[in-house]
Amino acid sequence: MARKKTAVDFEQSLGALQTLVERLESGDLSLEESLSAFEQGVALTRECQQALTQAEQKVAQLLEQDGQLTTAPFDGEVE
């Protein structure tokens, strides 16, 4: 269950970040609104980076065998 929550949080954060970027790029925000949106964007970026780092660590942990990292082919299929 925690795995799905992390994936959902990442997707929501990424979507919110994309929306903020679009708002900033529109040029319709005041300076104060732009600064606020930028601040939110930085926080969302950190959340996304943390989720990606955790996923990377999990993948490395899953691929580690006998103290050695092994490589595994990626077939691209989603279960």
Residue 37 class from Cβ within 10 Å (0-12 exposed, 13-18 middle, 19+ buried)? middle
What is the three-class DSSP state of 27?
coil
**Model confidence over 11-69: pLDDT tens digits?**
999 999 999 999 999 999 999 999 999 999 999 999 999 999 988 888 888 877 666 76
What pTM, to 2 d.p., does this model score? Answer: 0.67
CATH number among 1.10.287.1040, 3.30.70.20, 1.10.30.50, 1.20.1530.20, domain 2-61: 1.10.287.1040
> Could you tell me which of 47, 49, 50, 40 has the C-alpha nearest to residue 19?
40
Confidence bin at 75 (pLDDT 50/70/90): low
- First vs last C-alpha separation in the chain: 16
